[in-house]
Amino acid sequence: MIKLIGLVPLFPLIGFLINGFFGKKIGKSVSGIIASVSILASFILSVLIFVELNGSEEKSHIVNLFSWINSGNLKIPFEFLVDPLSSLFLLIITGIGFLIHIYSIGYMSHDEGFARFFTYLNLFVFFMLLLVLGNNYLIMFVGWEGVGLCSYLLIGFWFKNNAYNNAARKAFVMNRIGDLGFLLGIILVFITFGSISYNEVFLKAGTASTGVITTIALLLFVGAMGKSAQIPLYTWLPDAMAGPTPVSALIHAATMVTAGIYMIVRSNVFYSISEVASETVAIVGVVTALFAATIGLFQNDIKKILAYSTVSQLGLMFLALGVGAYSSAVFHVTTHAFFKALLFLGAGSVIHAMGGEQDIRKMGGLSGKIKITFMTMLMGTIAISGLPPFSGFFSKDEILAHTYEHSPLLWMFGMIASMLTAFYMFRLLFLTFFGKFRGTHEQEHHLHESPSSMTFPLIVLAILSVVGGLLGLPEFWHMPNWMSNNLESIIVRKNPSTLNHETEWMLMGIAVLAAAVTIYVAYIIYRQKKTIPLKEGDKMPGLQTVIYNKYYVDEFYDAVIRKPLDVLSVAFHKFFDIQIIDGLVNGVGSTVKTVGSGIRLLQQGNIGFYIISMVIGIVFIILLTFLI
């Protein structure tokens, strides 16, 4: 089966081509089925490959498809790498992707761009699979850029709304900033090691100086910051909510934003060598986790809350990477894919029931109206809040335990971010599903549960959110930590835990108690006191105003970066483009025209003048010959 790995990305590509060329002709139902079946086929094959890989002694297989680039010293084969890391990501991408495709059939059923939407979804999955399967940095970069392109198309899917176009453009530009760092890192890798294939580069990594390795690692991290929305390149992700809700689930849960995590885990040899790079990753991660969590406290758009939650959770994953807990980061990627996809799709079900309304201040009392959506979102909320025995508890606890071992200060900040997550997620739950309905009478009249095509993925993801923690049970429970054992061959430098059992139990107890207390505080505020967030335009306390407006980071970027660049661009246009470039081009044309006009006057049709001119020319040539 492993030799058939090329079929895994090929199936979505075929779905993309069929829907791209014939989508409007074959109709919505057929278009959705083709797109979904193509992902299902990839998922089934990924499962078979995963099973075969885990049943074999050889844990790394390279499948050479063809010779791609062969120019001088640059030899890049088009190869796929099948190992525990890539095979796990294949399951996440195709499994969650298939559920999102099924959900989208119901969610997008009335949209006129139905076939175009599934065309983009299939292409997105194709590039994401290419990203995780490539056996060198260039194939990864092709997939990296491909998902960036597809995210632009999907975020701006409803392109008739100019605000959505702006959000898509913002995501595209900010990702290009990060991608420049990634590209420079790849170039430095080739200059240093003479190759960009993983096996060759990682074997030679110890021969390079620490300074070069640090530079490579930091450049790659810049790319990860853009794709995985870390400070300062995070502001595009909340704005990506402009796209349809299934897009939010696909981008935020299991695919695009986790690309940065995958890339650093794949390149862990560099970060194991460079302590500076690792510390940078950890600090940026924990700051992002805490910063985004505070913003989520006062947001009122149900999708925006989940968006900042994603940024915060990604920060925790990078914190894990920075302290060397690579398998813990991948574990949280997996559990996060379950409960965050569930929460986004659940939010889409709420929006569907509310007739497009996204403001939680205008909801309430929905638990009895859309029971399946409520129960599944409750499970997702418990999971992301880190309560046992749900999946998020195990993955978060593992990250925080490794962080405490590395730095109690970073652990404290990570713990605070985790507490804030529990607060704003239960705030969302209480305001959306409990209390009295605060929407219009027409909205209340039309409240209804989503169709089975939307609720089925919710139920599956809810089950996974509950049992997903089994993938990484704590080792001090004397239980097999499958995730850590599975990725053992990928991690170059292992950091075995030195914490005693008493400390681990203490940390686990603190995490659960902190989450429980935070949830209770949210319960008092939003259930007992029935507090409703202030309306738009109402006066807020100073700090709340700052946080509600997302610390004015977008305004800061606009004033400090965009506007000066606009002024500089206008100045260059007026002076350099118009005066120099246009002046030079137009000057050459004017000179030729003037000279031509003068010479034209000599052409009078007088034969005698032409004879005299010929004689003078001949004499001039003879004299010139003698002189030379």
* Residue where the block lists tokens 């030899």: 75
pLDDT at 582: 87
pLDDT tens readout for residues 51-77:
999 888 888 899 999 888 888 778 889
Q: Please write the tens of the pLDDT for every residue from 164-181.
A: 899 999 999 999 999 999
Q: Are 322 and 279 in contact (CB under 8 A)?
A: yes
Question: In this predicted model, what pLDDT tens digit does every residue of 425-451 receive, in sequence order?
Answer: 999 999 999 989 998 888 888 888 999
Give the tokens for residue 318: 């990078």
Q: How confident is the model at residue 254 (pLDDT cuts 50, 70, 90)?
A: low
Provide the pLDDT for residue 480. Answer: 78
pLDDT tier, 1 (very low <50, low <70, confident <90, very high otherwise): confident
Give bridge partners of residue 136 from the DSSP assignment: 197
How far apart CA 53 and CA 66 sit, in angstroms, is 23
- pLDDT of 495 > 70? The answer is no
Model pLDDT, residue 628: 67
**pLDDT > 70? residue 460:** yes
CB proximity list for 103: less than 8 A, separation 6 or greater: 246, 249, 345, 348, 453, 454, 457, 458
Phi-psi region of 533 (alpha: psi -120 to 50; beta: other; left: phi over 0): beta
Q: Helices 326-353 & 452-467, crossing angle to 10 degrees? A: 150
Task: Identify the residue whose tokens are 């029935």.
Answer: 530
Helical spans, DSSP H, in 468-582: 482-486, 501-523, 542-548, 553-557, 563-572
Compute the distance between CA of residue 211 and CA of residue 269 in angstroms, rounded to an integer. 14
- pLDDT at res. 2: 84
Residue 611 has a pLDDT of: 82
- pLDDT by residue (tens digit) across 73-93? 788 899 999 999 999 999 999
8 A C-beta contact, residue 453 and residue 376 = no
Structure-block tokens of residue 598 = 């003068």
Q: In which residue are the tokens 């139990």 written?
A: 505
pTM, 2 dp: 0.90
CB 322 within 8 A of CB 281: yes
Q: Which of 13-22, 119-128, 259-268, 617-626 is least confident?
A: 617-626
Q: Would you call 27 helix, strand, or coil by DSSP?
A: coil
Nearest Cα to Cα of residue 282 among 269, 259, 264, 295: 264
Average pLDDT of span 20-38: 89
Q: Using one digit for the tens of pLDDT, what is the confidence trace for 108-138? A: 988 888 999 999 999 999 999 999 999 999 9
Mean pLDDT of 257-261: 91
68: helix, coil or strand? Answer: strand
SS3 360: helix
First to last CA, the chain: 80
Q: Is the pLDDT of residue 606 over 80?
A: no
- Per-residue CA distances from 382 to 214, 228, 308, 366, 385 (Å): 39, 24, 17, 18, 5
With bands split at pLDDT 50, 70 and 90, how would you rate the model's confidence at 274? very high
What value does the mean pLDDT take over residues 374-384? Answer: 96
CB atoms within 10 A of CB 26: 15
Instruction: For 549, list phi and psi in degrees, rounded to 5.
Output: -90, 20
pLDDT tens digits for range 561-573: 889 988 899 988 8
Q: Classify residue 595 by burial, with Cβ atoms within 10 Å: 0-12, 13-18, 19+.
A: exposed
What percent of the chain is modeled with pLDDT above 90?
64
Cα 242 to Cα 157: distance, rounded to the nearest angstrom: 9
Amino acid at 398: E
